[in-house]
Amino acid sequence: MPDHLDDVEFLKQHLSGDPPEELLEQIASTVVDHMADSFPELSLKSRPMEAVLDEFREKKLEEVESTGQYRRKLDYLQTYLEDEALIESTEDLTSEDVEQYDTWRQYESLPRDEPLADTTLSDDMYLFREFIRYLIEHRMAPVRFEKSVEIPDIDYAGGEGADEKNSIRR
Confidence of residue 164 (pLDDT cuts 50, 70, 90): very low
Tell me: the pLDDT tens digits for 48-59?
999 999 999 999
| CA dihedral of 76, 82, 84, 89, whole degrees rounded to 10 | 130
Nearest CA to 91 out of 142, 125, 143, 39 is that of 142
Burial class (CB in 10 A: 0-12, 13-18, 19+), 131: buried
126-160 residue pLDDT tens: 999 999 999 999 999 988 899 999 998 887 666 55
Of 96, 45, 104, give the one whose Cα is nearest residue 78. 104
Q: How many residues does the chain have?
A: 170
Residue 60's Cα: distance from chain center in Å?
Answer: 16
| Percentage with pLDDT > 90 across the chain | 54
Residue extents of the structural domains in the chain: 2-42, 49-148
Q: What is the pLDDT of residue 13?
A: 72
SS (H, E, C) the chain: CHHHHHHHHHHHHHHCCCCCHHHHHHHHHHHHHHHCCCCHHHCCCCCEHHHHHHHHHHHHHHHCCCHHHHHHHHHHHHHHHHHHCCCCEHHHCCHHHHHHHHHHHHHHCCCCCCCCCHHHHHHHHHHHHHHHHHHHHCCCCCHHHHHHCCCCCCCCCCCCCCCHHHCCCC
With cut-offs at 50, 70 and 90, classify the pLDDT of residue 36: low
| Residue 105 confidence (pLDDT) | 95
| Per-residue pLDDT at 96 exceeds 60 | yes
* CA–CA distance, 55 with 69 (Å, rounded to integer): 18
Of 79, 88, 150, whose CA–CA distance to 111 is shortest? 79
pLDDT confidence of residue 4: 56
